[in-house]
Chain A
């Protein structure tokens, strides 16, 4: 007996915004490649239903100081280059195929190396010289220090169309103004809270920023650490955006490496937990699996650390986009 498959296609009235990061020489920057994310007219990888014009991309994370606290399994591949953000970035791009570099200004943290705005700007310049891919620059997380550092950094990389972050509900004015002034894109952060995600976007809009230049960061959790909450928020955000809520129709960024390499399931050495097996295999697997979950939830940009996890995520993206004979119609 023939089985009739019911028609389940839905048409969504509002495409997700398209955000371009990076600027080539012709566009006033120095990048040799740019990255465009967003533009979906359907849910993640529903090729049968709508368009996914731009595949999700993988950015690799580097710091402006050596990643001393990175667990050995993820530090080892970069041990030779961590002293220099330029070399570090180069390795990520040339050896591991990073499509963007995320420079995290950890060294600016007043509780850490407390580097100056000029040092942060120099690190950013160094990365721009070393690689041709677009740049994400992420503050140290101390609101006051970020507001002191970003004016110098945003100006130093002006014309490069970087993605800068993050703004939050309590701290959005400085960075929003800088991104407007120097032509950068903006990461809007919220603490696993869809109402605040919406609020931050409205605040940025109110401050004169274009919604079309925002990428949402809804906070990320590692596999086993609240990932299902983030998943459902990403899903709800995407559905609201597709249904026509302009304040929610942004590409979504997931900060995976930082979260995964902070949980014991990823880094605990085999000697401590023998039944979990080799952390050099387990850690990258944990990171890759976390990435898979976020891809399915609607991530457009993944920030990752371990080369093996990056490779696995890129392969998954290629397959989900249908390049290996998968679902593309």
Chain B
């Protein structure tokens, strides 16, 4: 499971303030905490704190200064993504994200090729977010085909079927699960499949339980990446156990410890 740490995002107040005041402290602290907890990538998002591409460059540099962990550059604006990519010190990177819009695909796929980046493609298009399985699959397949055509190998493509809050759109979770299964059939080897996990429990009670229950079900369908709260220990334990059940890891009585070591990069 590829774990993408969600916390350096301006939708969190402390990060928003840190970006606006150019205060490295909280950003680097979250970078270190998430890296230590086992993040494979650190998602960075300037969100509503700024519209300036140079602020993304600054954010990438601040994170790079703190940890060697690969980075996921998260923005809906290709110019901001580009600024983040330019600031990279050569470590592996994910572009988060393109949609199925032609304009976006035309800009972001060449960028991914140029920077040797992975590319997350969310299954929405100019009509907005999909409400059923079919649109999710159509959009995912369109992104996948365009990315392959543009020169990306399947292992650099991450498809995101768009997870929605269970509290407000309860019927969508099941559609997402079905879409994940469909994505696994796009190619052999299949692309990576990723979700923004915390979306499912937005505003809900039992956030952690909902997240880890969903992630286990989604892993059974083929999910192998998530932007998530990597500091949620129960979530990580559930993921470790699901990897055993799916026979992706060899069982041992101390498997949780083995998983911890793996995520700690030892």
A236 and B247 CA atoms in complex are apart in Å by 12
Given A202-B257, A205-B261, A206-B257, A245 contacting B249 (CB threshold 8 A): yes
- The listed residue (A195, A244, A246) touching B252 by CB distance below 8 A is A195
Q: A198-B258, A202-B257 are contacts. A246–B250 as well, Cβ < 8 Å?
A: no
A205 to B254, CA, bound (A): 11
Are the C-beta atoms of A198 and B251 separated by less than 8 Å? yes
A199 in contact with B253 (CB, 8 Å): yes
Chain A residues within 8 Å of B250, by CB: 194-195, 198, 236-237, 240, 245, 248
Judge whether A202 and B251 touch: CB under 8 Å: no
Tell me which of B253, B262, B266 contacts A245 (CB under 8 A). Answer: B262
Contact pattern, B 230-266, Cβ under 8 Å of A = 1, otherwise 0? 0000000000000000000111111101100110001
Chain B residues within 8 Å of A196, by CB? 252
Query: Size range of the interface on A?
Result: 10 to 19
Chain B residues, CB < 8 A from A240: 250
A-B pair count, CB < 8 Å, reads 38
Find chain B residues with CB under 8 A from A293 CB: none
Q: Which residue of A lies closest to B254 (CB)?
A: A202
Q: Mark A190-206, 1 if CB is under 8 A from B, else 0.
A: 00001110110011011
Chain A residue nearest in CB terms to B248 = A243
A154 to chain B, nearest CB (A): 25
Q: Are A206 and B251 in contact (CB under 8 A)?
A: no
Assess whether A296 is interfacial by the CB under 8 Å rule: no
Rounded to whole angstroms, the CA-CA distance of A199 and B251 in the bound complex is 8
Chain B contributes a number of interface residues (CB within 8 A of A) equal to 12
A206 touches B262 (CB 8 A): no
A145 to nearest B CB, angstroms?
A: 26
A196–B253 Cα gap in the complex (Å)?
8
Docked CA distance A195–B253 (Å): 8
Q: Please give, as numbers and ranges, the residues of chain A lying within 8 Å of B254 by CB-CB distance.
A: 199, 202-203, 206
Complex CA gap A6/B252 in Å reads 37
Inter-chain CA distance A199–B250, complex, in Å, is 10
Tell me which residues across on chain B come within 8 A of A195, comparing CB atoms. 250-253
In residues 237-274 of chain A, which contact B (Cβ within 8 Å)? 237, 240, 244-248
Closest-by-CB residue of B relative to A169 is B253
Residues in chain B near residue A198, CB distance under 8 A = 250-252, 255, 258
Report the bound CA distance from A245 to B258 in whole Å. Answer: 9
CA distance A198 to B257 in the complex (A): 11
Most buried by B among A195, A199, A205, A237: A199
Residues of B within 8 A of A247 (CB): 252, 258, 261
Complex Cα distance, B258 from A7, in Å, reads 34
Chain B residues near A202: list those with CB within 8 A.
252, 254, 257-258, 261
Interface residues of B in 120-158 (CB under 8 A from A): none
From B251, B253, B255, B262, give the contact of A246 (CB < 8 A).
B262
Known: A206-B257, A247-B252, A247-B258. 20 other contacts (CB 8 A): A195-B250, A195-B251, A195-B252, A198-B250, A198-B251, A198-B255, A199-B253, A199-B254, A202-B254, A202-B257, A202-B261, A203-B254, A205-B261, A236-B250, A240-B250, A244-B262, A245-B249, A245-B258, A246-B261, A247-B261
Q: Tell me the A residues contacting B by CB distance below 8 Å.
A: 194-196, 198-199, 202-203, 205-206, 236-237, 240, 244-248
**Could you write out 16 A-B pairs with CB less than 8 Å apart?**
A194-B250, A195-B252, A198-B250, A198-B251, A198-B255, A202-B254, A202-B257, A202-B261, A203-B254, A205-B261, A206-B254, A206-B257, A237-B250, A245-B258, A247-B252, A248-B250
